[in-house]
Structure 1
Amino acid sequence: MNQQLLDQTGRHRPLARILIVSFAAALCLVTYTVKGDETEVSLGTSAPAPTKSEKDAEVDAIKGQIAKYLRSVDDADTQLASEVWLSSPEVSFIQPRGHQHGWKQVKRSFYEQTMGGNFSERTLRIIGDVSVHVYGDTAWAEFYWDFKAKFEEDGKTLNTKGRETQIFRKVAGDWRLVHVHYSGMPVKGEEKACCPSAALKTPQLAIELPAEYKNPDGMTIQDGLIWLVVNNGVQDAPSCIVKITADNKLEKVIDLPVNPDTGIVSALCLVFASDGHLYVSDNQNIKGKKEHGQSRILRVVMEDGKATGVEVVATGVNKANGVAAKGDSLFVNESSFGAAVPTISGTYQFNLSDLKADDPVRVDGTANDPHVILTMESEGKYPIGANGICFDGEGNMYVSNFADCEIWKVAFSEAGKAQKGALFAKVDCAESVGGMQYDGKGEIWFADFDGCAVGKVCVKSGESCLVAKNAPCDGVNGELDAPSECIRFGNKVYVSNVDITLGPNIADETHTISVIDLD
């Protein structure tokens, strides 16, 4: 490779040498100087490594350029693109339609002809995270993307997904794009294809609930067993917690107390926290009078593996939904902060030490409450936003936007402070994204209530696929019947069918737990 780039002094530097230096730096500290047309490289410790804050600033600057790059594609804007690309005959762009050399070719072929000439509308978005690697004044980024467009000629739509590498060079203090190489998504048979194309699996009947148990919902795993919320919304009985035994029987753990102000309890989700107790969301809007501020967070006090009582530890929630625990915190989804359209929803974070039975935390039920760490908008057909919630093995939080078929991601600092949330995946294969559970194997499993389906999402790429799906039905043979939660248990996936009337689903007398065998 004999391509050259201008360095900050105006002299030419071979691009091949830049890349060699970049990759060598992954193993040890590299310093180099330029003498005329020659680059001298030395390995050692003569140059100080950038501090973490300096490196973070460089990463943020590169991510800012990538965001600008996305906008330049959306608008086919060559002026904006010129603020991202290095204006040099040595830059290059490799893509399925060709290989462009130099900014003029990239501008004409990719922006003006492909993007501007073929499409009347374009939307390029990133799937999952952007991984940025900085070594001196050279950096590269890698990410997955989703591209939607409408053809100028006939109005037909196009949707493609792919993966991309971008190489940047710091010139006169600014990061400039010097090379792009993109291709399609992994195909079946590749080692890391997280959601390969495969035939849908057929759910089987695991449990037909007895008459005293209706509307099964949230699930979690503790002590080698699945623990389950039974909402009992269609009958005059309190919500309760049960365990699924090894032989698929139900064993009651405890009944949950009604709200004295409403006379009901309407539990949805549950999770064990680091203090050993079980926390439950009580969504009064499911069974109650649809008034805001009546929902609660309950704590089932556990001693030696047995439930000894239930305490109210938080009040004032509007539509308490998914719950998760990490470290010394409890996270609770608020499916709607109010009646406004679009629906605004989000996630609360509570410190476990602040959740006291004799002095429950009182939230104000708005997005401005100090416990809120994530907000999102929903424009779907239901006023239901934040629903499922889970954490991956690296401590990142994922929240589903039910009506808009989205999953949002929140990272945390070393001190445990939530960072700004970002869209992680648009789940195009589903009609809704409800309860979610991370399986410890790199995949998030989710229930698609509207689609009577169960699917999974790869936490590495954001790619999604359905694993099981059927038409709306009564579920008597184990079919999915308004599924609200699913959880991987060994090589099986258990699914709770909440079986309520909403959307395409109509409540019936049969209430079931389905199971999907992954073998």
Structure 2
Amino acid sequence: MQTPKLFVELPDYCPTPDGMAVDAEGNLVVACPNYADQTKPACVVKIDKEGNVKKWFDVPVLADTGLACPMGIAFGPAGELYICDNQGWKGTPEGQFKGRLLECRVEGMGEEAKVTCRTIAEGLEHPNGVRFHLGKLYVTNSLMSRENDPSGLLVSGVYCFDPGTKKAIAVTNTRKDPELVWSVLTYNRDCQYGLDGIAFDKAGRMYLGNFGDGTILRAELDKSGNVLTCETWAKDLKNLRTTDGICFDENDNLYIADFSDNAIAVVRPDSRVYRIARSPDSDGANGELDQPGEPIVWNGRLYVTCFDCVTGPDKVNTKHDPPFTITTLDLPDQLDTESH
């Protein structure tokens, strides 16, 4: 397995890095919900290939909470940035069912940034991952607690929104929502946390990570974006325990942040799962994985945000501590079959 290398230590105003995307100029763009210290305004930063970090803008807050909580992000074709504002993540009463899908258009940087923001969807319980695909926005909703399944298991789902909507779409977080294109159960009763990472392959198939079950689902879509079929495509609990953020490389290898196990996995196109890196509990100062939240392929390498915020009996991470880091790995040309 690989030894991760430190790419950058983030400034003190970025204690919780999460979602990533690459802008038209080739910068790495990182969303920082800052759950570990919400006295620091939630923001989005840009990082160049030399590792220079600059604040792009502070995300506009929700009036009800005075906070913004940007997790998954994705660019649209005109450079607009779509943001999953996960107000419910902290579990505070005032943030429940207040999640938003935002569209932000930004001119300038930092203190000079002019942000025009509108709400595409509101009332989401736990909006997490977002992808722009064929003119539509697909968003994972990791918790749908209003949907009481007879099994008693957690329901989660993926929504499809039209970014051209003139009015914010209010969701109910139930299977009655017309924008809900698929829902699933999470069978692992010890980790009731559902759909999280989302990505599309070159053929236009949608891939979803069911976090608690450690599974990757693959869905075939019709021309309207509706799910025709959805199946468990990859599962190997020896090499993949939880599925947070996911992304593809140009060869349709799927990289996965194994959040709870402090590891990175890759799934080959034939659905075989390999673990390519794992770190013990640490502060991440030497580039160790420190609760990996999101991977992205950028400039021929894999980069991973270290969320470093959640603890518990099933987590390698034991505390939040500085530094706040992004780490990097080689893209494996030949995977070690012994790790399968």
TM class, shorter-chain normalised? 0.7 to 0.9
Alpha-carbon displacement from aligned partner over 1:48-91 (angstroms, at most 9, x marks no partner): xxxxxxxxxxxxxxxxxxxxxxxxxxxxxxxxxxxxxxxxxxxx
C-alpha distance in structure 1 between counterparts of 2:177 and 2:223, whole Å: 23
Contact 1:407 1:427 in 2 (8 A): no
> RMSD of the TM alignment (CA)?
1.9
Partner residue of 2:337?
none
The answer as to 2:15 corresponding to 1:214 is yes
Could you tell me the percent identity over the aligned residues?
A: 30
Match of residue 122 from structure 2: 315
Measured in 2, the distance between the counterparts of 1:415 and 1:297 equals 20
Q: Is 1:205 the equivalent of 2:6?
A: yes
Q: Deviations over 1:347-385 (max 9, x none)?
A: 00011222x3xx211111112211011111112222310
Q: What's 1:232 paired with?
A: 34
Deviation of 1:494 after TM superposition, in Å, equals 0.6
Letter in 1 for 2:173: G
| Shift of residue 281, structure 1, vs aligned partner | 0.3
> How big is each residue's C-alpha offset from its partner over 1:165-207, in whole Å with a ceiling of 9 and x where there is no partner?
xxxxxxxxxxxxxxxxxxxxxxxxxxxxxxxxxxx00001111
Is contact 1:274–1:326 with CA below 8 Å preserved after alignment? Answer: no
**Relative to structure 1, is the Cα distance of residues 241 and 266 closer, same or farther in structure 2, using a 3 angstrom cutoff?**
same
Following the alignment from structure 1 to structure 2, what is the Cα–Cα distance between the partners of residues 304 and 419?
A: 42
Indicate yes or no: 2:187 matched with 1:379: yes
Q: Give matches, 1:350-365, under 5 Å.
A: 350-354=161-165, 356=166, 359-365=167-173
Aligned length: 316
Measured after TM superposition, the shift of residue 311 of structure 1 is 2.1
Does 1:453 pair with 2:260? no
Q: Unaligned stretches of 5+ in structure 2?
A: 333-340
Q: 2 CA distance for matches of 1:247 and 1:307?
A: 26
In the aligned structure 2, how far is the partner of 1:204 from the partner of 1:451? 18
**Greater helix content:** 1
> How far, CA to CA, are the matches of 1:293 and 1:321 in structure 2?
13
User: 1:385-443 deviations in whole A, cap 9, x for unaligned?
Assistant: 00000000111110100010011111112444331322111142112111001112121
> In 2, Cα distance between the equivalents of 1:416 and 1:449?
29
- 2:222 corresponds to 1:413: yes
Do structure 1's residue 285 and structure 2's residue 108 form an aligned pair? Answer: no
Match of 2:297 in 1: 488
TM-score by length of 2: 0.88
Looking at structure 2, the residues matched to 417 and 233 of structure 1 have their Cα atoms a distance apart, in angstroms, of: 34
Q: Once the 2 structures are TM-superposed, how far is the Cα of residue 217 of structure 1 from its aligned partner?
A: 0.4
CA separation in 2, counterparts of 1:446 and 1:308? 32
C-alpha deviation, 1:279, in angstroms: 0.2
Structure 1 letter corresponding to 2:158: T
Alpha-carbon distance in structure 1 between the residues aligned to 2:305 and 2:29? 11
Cα displacement (A) at 1:473: 1.4
CA distance in 2, matches of 1:212, 1:205: 19
Instruction: Give the match's secondary structure for 1:368.
Output: coil
C-alpha distance after superposition, 1:298-325 (max 9, x if no partner) = 1111569986422222101000101011
- Report the 3-state secondary structure (helix = DSSP H, G, I; strand = E; otherwise coil) of the residue aligned with 1:348: strand
AA of the residue aligned to 1:513: I
Question: What SS does the corresponding residue of 1:421 show, helix, strand or coil?
Answer: strand
Deviations 1:106-132 (A, max 9, x none): xxxxxxxxxxxxxxxxxxxxxxxxxxx
Show the counterpart of 1:10.
none
Tell me the equivalent position of 2:136. Answer: 329
- Give me the whole-angstrom Cα distance separating, in 1, the residues matched to 2:181 and 2:81: 22
Aligned counterpart in structure 2 of residue 508 of structure 1, from 304, 321, 327 = 321
Name which one, 1 or 2, has greater alpha-carbon Rg: 1
Whether contact under 8 Å (2:160, 2:225) holds in the other structure is no
> Partner of 1:473 in structure 2?
282
Aligned residues of 1:317 and 1:334 also touching (Cα < 8 A): yes
Q: In structure 1, what is the equivalent of residue 102 of structure 2?
A: 298
| 3-state SS in 1 of match to 2:45 | strand
Deviation of 1:328 (Å) = 1.2
Partner Cα separation in structure 1 for residue 224 and residue 117 of structure 2: 31
Tell whether the 8 Å contact from 1:240 to 1:252 is kept in structure 2 after alignment: yes
Deviates more, 1:286-295 or 1:208-217: 286-295
Matched-pair contact (CA < 8 Å) for 1:238–1:266? no
Deviates further, 305-314 or 425-434: 305-314
- Return the alpha-carbon distance in structure 1 between the equivalents of residues 236 and 74 of structure 2: 25
**What CA deviation, in whole Å up to 9, does each residue of 1:129-169 have, x standing for no partner?**
xxxxxxxxxxxxxxxxxxxxxxxxxxxxxxxxxxxxxxxxx
AA aligned opposite 1:222 = D
Q: Hey, what does 1:347 align to over in structure 2?
A: 158
Q: Does 1:437 align with 2:239?
A: no
* Residues 344 and 385, structure 1, Cα contact 8 Å, conserved in 2: yes
SS across alignment from 1:420: strand
Q: Distance in 1 between matches of 2:182 and 2:46?
A: 32
CA distance in 2: counterparts of 1:219 and 1:389, whole angstroms: 12
CA contact (8 A) 2:218 2:233 kept: yes
Map 1:54-203 onto structure 2 (within 5 A).
200-203=1-4
Q: How much does 1:497 deviate?
A: 0.2
